[in-house]
Structure 1
Amino acid sequence: MIKKFISYYRPYKKLFLLDFICAVIAAFLEIGFPVIVNKVIREYIPQKELVLVITAIIALLGFYLMSALLQYIVTYFGHKLGHLIERDLRKDLFKHLTEQPFAFYDDRKTGELMSRITTDLFEIGEVAHHGPEDIFISISTLIATFVLMYLVNPYLALITIALVPVISALIIYFNKKMIKVNKRIYNRLADFNSGLENTISGIRVVKAFSNETFEQDKFEKLNEGYKDAKLEFYQVMGLSHTTNHFLMKLLSLVALLLSSYFFIKGYITDYSDIIYFILLTNVLIRPIEKMNAVIESYPKGIAGFKRYLELMHIKPTIVDSEHATELTVVNGEVEYKNVSFSYGDDKHVLSNISFKIQAGQTVAFVGPSGAGKTTLCNLLPRFYDIDKGDILIDGKSIQSVTLSSLKENIGMVQQEVFLFNGTVRENILYGKLNATDDEINEALKLAQLDEVIANMKDGIHTIIGYRGIKLSGGQRQRLAIARMFLKNPPILILDEATSALDTKTESDIQASLEKLSKGRTTLVIAHRLTTIKNADKIFVVTQDGIFEEGTHEELLSKKGLYASLYQEQFQSI
């Protein structure tokens, strides 16, 4: 873990050295204060050398000014170093998360992942800045101060320094306790963020069912759990601070008692040595206080970094094969060969599915809910990887081509439309980031959205709100369709693409989709069977696999499951 943490310093070696060297110099300037004061008290004042006293004071002033400058460098550039490392950690984690397949997100809460990429990394920057320099400075200052104390009186120095291991042991003890507590805090905070994100994103459902009180009670439990974990941390921190504070004051008292005793007994002959020794004791306390400050940030940072590594160690299960090639010049022939798939349990959603779609054909998948129609289509762009069998595009296994080129050649409009909180233009551009205005306008026209946009106050630059809340359901669906028109891929997957549209708009969009489908391979998942009458082939999917296949007329003539489903819908109209 430490080796991995240190690797994040490499790009900022110069910045780290600047911060580290300045911090060390500033620390040793602190030791210079008792040395100069001892010189003044021991020699200059008894000899009434006022000029030398003033010279020493000017030297001390210079020390303080230099120390102030060094403290600025350490504060600004040190925190800059810490933040840059925090930024890099966040960038790596975000990249890692975007490379994970759908299955990764199926079992995780959005709020928890947000907590991992934000809160968990806040304290790591502080540890990155203060950790190495504070530990080094504390040890160096302790050694240097001990040497100066030893020169005053070896026995006095040894007796005084004996308390340091006791304080250090307590620091280590409380440090371990706080790491454990901090891990619980991060877990509680992840639950807290997840619950909060869930409630706020679903606030319309909450209010529609008048469940505000239920959500408030649920939030109260999460809030209390987080509070309890924080209070436990503060309790441990309070015990740590109190104990260390008492021991450090005790250190000063021990130094005063022992130095006085040694002077009275004649082991120390110069009273100025008593003052010098007490001043050195105060310097000795500072690295201990610094270690005590580290104890607050270190457990938080380490707990956060451990959780960061937990996520980073989860390797993406769907990646390019070693010899993956680009999928180019796609005609659109699709073939499923004995495909089996399950969502990680023993029950297979799909078992030994085989069929072939000719390039340019429009095929439809119909059947009862839960039969695996959407799953079947999600396997084509490798949102999930199959357990057995193979899927081919133009005779090439999708496992043998790069993921990026595979997805570039497949366009998908899903039943549940997701729009980003931005403008109409930004959402459409997601289909083709470098699209021209003419291409955007053509996509809007094909999706029957141009007139709607023209009537908006800000036109294509209208902010649509969180998940497109300012648009109607039909407008959201058409915006997603426009995004797919702009991408213009050779293979299309339409998962209930017109489900949220009124009859008139659905008819218009259906005509546009049929026009777009000419010369392209299109996979349609539909519950409204009237929308797929013109499909080249229809597959009736059940939990047992593909139950029937054929054209609309062929399936009706068979008077099987498709005919039954069609008759039910026809009678309900």
Structure 2
Amino acid sequence: MNHSSPNIPATTPGSIPHTSDRPGRGPARLNPADRTQLTRHPVSLRRIAALFAPHRPTIVVVVLLITAASVINLAQPFLVRGVIDDALPHQDIPLLIWLTAAMVGVAALTSVIGVVQTWMATAMGQKVMHALRVKLFTHLQSQPLSFFTRTRGGEVQSRLTHDIAGMQSVVTSTATGVASNLTTTVATAVAMVALSPQLSLISLVVLPPAIWLSRRVALIRRQVTDERQATLAALHTQVEEGLSVSGARLAKTLGTTARDATLFTQRSDQLIGLELRSQLAGRWRMATMQIVFAAIPAVIYLAAGLPATSQGMTIGTLVAFTALQGQVFRPVMGLLNIGVQWVTALAFFSRIFEYLDLDPELKPPADPAPWDAERVQGEVRFEQVSFAYDDGSPTLAGIDLVVPAGTTTAVVGSTGSGKSTLASLVPRLYDATSGRVMIDGVDVRDLAPADLAATVGVVSQETYLIHASVRENLLLAQPGATDAALWSALETASLAGTIAALPEGLDTLVGARGHRFSGGEQQRLAIARTVLRNPPVLVLDEATSALDNTTEARVQAALDELSSGRTTLMIAHRLSTVMDADQVIVLEGGRIVEQGAPSELLTADGPFASLAAGRESALVA
């Protein structure tokens, strides 16, 4: 994090103050995207101030420390003048000792103040960032699946990490920079007038064109840097996408490896020219700055030597004034950049607040219904349930369904009939647009999220495993489970033998998104997690769809055993699975078109019989 230090070293004639060529330092340029973001989602300054309200005492102390350091540091030129004009010419050793000791003391004092100020400002910024980060994370957790469906994962991560970190850095450095640069500029200007009003007037004439020239030269470097960053971003994106497990598999199967290598070569070659332009622009900038900073003291020396402007000026005064005049350049440049930095900070806040202002569609109940998951019977009831996604088109319409406690209901139908949507309403991944979904007569919307999660277990067709060990993936379901319980769950899922045969057993790393294991093994790990949770209500959304016939038969037998005495809502895809259910419902266009025992429906020669006949053993179109 950048903090402008009030202890700015004086520049000697012809020297160049330290300036960084990194993006974000020196003359800044407004990013049009920041303006667009602020137009789309304006930010209230009062809302920003509320974030820092708990830290008012710290802010006051930091500002006072910065101001004190800036003022104390201005003693240095006057001490130098005393050394040159008084102590050295008169060989006044005691005065020389006092003055030089004071110079060291001033430097030490301002350095200590700078460390304390940086520590306090950084700690405050980190606390504000921590509060925002936690608030945003928990708020995004309350969003429905539709939010994550329509939002890129990288966008969520960027706002949660990069934007909050950038906000903290920009705001902290901007706030401390304003105090430091403003006090340094004002105090330096006052000291310059006190030393020599005549040379101060000359500086007022010389400084503006010098500052303008420096900004113009710096913009050239910034433009080249932006182009280089864009090319690097494209290069990094290709590396991330092309050298991931999925990217490498796609390239090999589509035969695009040579094409990808050519594109990577072209982008890398572009970086050569951009890097050369960037370095040359930097050299031209430094050369220009060298000329500017050599010209400024030269003009001052010329004015000091002319009888009309010198008026008996001493050498010490001239050296002190030159030092002051040299160090006023940097804070002035900093103040000129404050406007752009503030817009950048507001854009960060806008992006964060935009997510915080999202209305959580799945709001937890203010007064949750009393619930004991161990005493749940498990009857699931749909009463006139309808559902529509964001586009407004109905996916479910007027669903009336009772899944008696301890029974298995299979849901079949063609693709897009609403089977998975129906199943997702039970664990409240979505809320019904109208109607009610109830467990034991209690609306799922009236249950605390933790109670509902303990009651309903879900195994979906899309298995997700974290990049950790088998043990850690299983412990997500029951953090305190023993190894014996883990092995028992794996045995139920027909995976114990596979894991036991691995050199590291339960400590085997599953890999990114579970790529260490086959699709069927991933699915069985997910089933083992559900077995470990032991929920009274099961939702199986094509839970065995990734398994071969032999493995599916073993896992289905385990699921049948697990389902015994439990309420199970199963999205089925094979006739053999459906025939073991207590009842079958057939969905078409979001409506129940047939319902009954599987054997009865087969003989009824209705939609179920047509599905079975049309797909032989499969029931999903």
Task: Confirm or deny that 1:202 pairs with 2:246.
Answer: yes
TM-score (norm 1): 0.84
TM-align CA RMSD: 4.4
- Superimposed CA distance per residue, residues 73-114 of structure 1 (whole angstroms, 9 cap, x where no aligned partner): 556665565555545544443333333221111112223333
CA distance in structure 2 between the aligned counterparts of 1:286 and 1:469, rounded to whole angstroms = 54
Paired residues of 1:184 and 1:229 also in contact (CA < 8 A): yes
Which SS does the other structure have where 1:570 is aligned? coil
Q: Structure 1 counterpart of 2:498, which letter?
A: V
Picking from 397, 418, 422, the partner of 2:468 is 422
- Superimposed CA distance per residue, residues 15-49 of structure 1 (whole angstroms, 9 cap, x where no aligned partner): 76776555444433431110111222333334331
Q: Structure 2 counterpart of 1:103, which letter?
A: S
Paired residues of 1:146 and 1:161 also in contact (CA < 8 A): no
Task: Confirm or deny that 1:314 pairs with 2:358.
Answer: yes
Q: CA deviation at 1:119?
A: 3.5
Q: CA deviation at 1:140?
A: 0.8
Q: Structure 2 counterpart of 1:312, which letter?
A: L
Residue 211 of structure 1 corresponds to 256
CA distance in structure 1 between the aligned counterparts of 2:589 and 2:277, rounded to whole angstroms = 51
Task: Confirm or deny that 1:60 pairs with 2:103.
Answer: yes
Correspondences of 1:545-560 after superposition (within 5 Å): 545-560=591-606
Q: CA deviation at 1:366?
A: 0.4
Residue 142 of structure 2 corresponds to 99
Farther off after superposition, 500-509 or 168-177: 168-177
Q: CA deviation at 1:510?
A: 1.7
Task: Confirm or deny that 1:446 pairs with 2:489.
Answer: no
Which SS does the other structure have where 2:616 is aligned? helix
Task: Confirm or deny that 1:36 pairs with 2:79.
Answer: yes
Structure 2, unaligned runs of 5 or more: 1-42
Farther off after superposition, 366-375 or 327-336: 327-336
Q: CA deviation at 1:456?
A: 1.5
Task: Confirm or deny that 1:465 pairs with 2:511.
Answer: yes
CA distance in structure 2 between the aligned counterparts of 1:313 and 1:43, rounded to whole angstroms = 66
Residue 322 of structure 2 corresponds to 278
Distance 1:544 1:440, change over 3 A: closer
CA distance in structure 1 between the aligned counterparts of 2:508 and 2:310, rounded to whole angstroms = 88
Distance 1:239 1:75, change over 3 A: farther
Picking from 486, 498, 502, the partner of 2:544 is 498
Q: CA deviation at 1:221?
A: 10
Residue 17 of structure 2 corresponds to none
Q: CA deviation at 1:232?
A: 12
Task: Confirm or deny that 1:540 pairs with 2:586.
Answer: yes
Which SS does the other structure have where 1:547 is aligned? strand
Distance 1:122 1:252, change over 3 A: farther
Distance 1:444 1:41, change over 3 A: same
Q: CA deviation at 1:478?
A: 1.1
Q: CA deviation at 1:273?
A: 3.3
Task: Confirm or deny that 1:27 pairs with 2:70.
Answer: yes
Q: CA deviation at 1:526?
A: 0.9
Task: Confirm or deny that 1:349 pairs with 2:392.
Answer: no
Task: Confirm or deny that 1:142 pairs with 2:188.
Answer: no
Q: CA deviation at 1:509?
A: 1.8
Paired residues of 1:363 and 1:539 also in contact (CA < 8 A): yes
Structure 1, unaligned runs of 5 or more: none
Correspondences of 1:117-196 after superposition (within 5 Å): 117-154=160-197, 156-157=199-200, 160-161=203-204
- Superimposed CA distance per residue, residues 459-503 of structure 1 (whole angstroms, 9 cap, x where no aligned partner): 111112122222222221111101001111111100111122232
Distance 1:343 1:176, change over 3 A: farther
CA distance in structure 1 between the aligned counterparts of 2:405 and 2:455, rounded to whole angstroms = 13
Farther off after superposition, 478-487 or 528-537: 528-537
CA distance in structure 2 between the aligned counterparts of 1:542 and 1:293, rounded to whole angstroms = 62
Distance 1:143 1:317, change over 3 A: same
Distance 1:243 1:383, change over 3 A: farther
Paired residues of 1:492 and 1:520 also in contact (CA < 8 A): yes
- Superimposed CA distance per residue, residues 417-460 of structure 1 (whole angstroms, 9 cap, x where no aligned partner): 11111111111111112223332222122212222222121111
- Superimposed CA distance per residue, residues 173-227 of structure 1 (whole angstroms, 9 cap, x where no aligned partner): 9999999999999999999877765553522233222233565678899999999
CA distance in structure 2 between the aligned counterparts of 1:234 and 1:300, rounded to whole angstroms = 26
Residue 28 of structure 2 corresponds to none
Distance 1:198 1:8, change over 3 A: farther
Equivalent residues, number = 572
Distance 1:3 1:236, change over 3 A: farther
Farther off after superposition, 378-387 or 121-130: 121-130
CA distance in structure 1 between the aligned counterparts of 2:446 and 2:281, rounded to whole angstroms = 55
Picking from 412, 416, 422, the partner of 2:458 is 412
Identical positions, percent: 30
Distance 1:221 1:394, change over 3 A: farther
Farther off after superposition, 446-455 or 59-68: 59-68
- Superimposed CA distance per residue, residues 313-347 of structure 1 (whole angstroms, 9 cap, x where no aligned partner): 32322111333435434322222222222221132
CA distance in structure 2 between the aligned counterparts of 1:219 and 1:89, rounded to whole angstroms = 38
CA distance in structure 2 between the aligned counterparts of 1:469 and 1:114, rounded to whole angstroms = 22
Residue 264 of structure 1 corresponds to 308
Residue 159 of structure 2 corresponds to 116
Residue 416 of structure 2 corresponds to 370
Distance 1:175 1:547, change over 3 A: farther
- Superimposed CA distance per residue, residues 291-324 of structure 1 (whole angstroms, 9 cap, x where no aligned partner): 5787897676554444333333323221113334
Q: CA deviation at 1:149?
A: 2.1
Distance 1:493 1:191, change over 3 A: farther
CA distance in structure 2 between the aligned counterparts of 1:161 and 1:85, rounded to whole angstroms = 40
Q: Structure 2 counterpart of 1:388, which letter?
A: S
Task: Confirm or deny that 1:437 pairs with 2:483.
Answer: yes
Distance 1:258 1:554, change over 3 A: farther
Paired residues of 2:575 and 2:618 also in contact (CA < 8 A): no
- Superimposed CA distance per residue, residues 327-378 of structure 1 (whole angstroms, 9 cap, x where no aligned partner): 4343222222222222211321112222122222210100111111001111
Residue 402 of structure 1 corresponds to 448
Residue 521 of structure 1 corresponds to 567
- Superimposed CA distance per residue, residues 33-66 of structure 1 (whole angstroms, 9 cap, x where no aligned partner): 1011122233333433133123211221233334
CA distance in structure 1 between the aligned counterparts of 2:222 and 2:541, rounded to whole angstroms = 47
Farther off after superposition, 120-129 or 342-351: 120-129
CA distance in structure 1 between the aligned counterparts of 2:567 and 2:222, rounded to whole angstroms = 56
Paired residues of 1:181 and 1:229 also in contact (CA < 8 A): yes
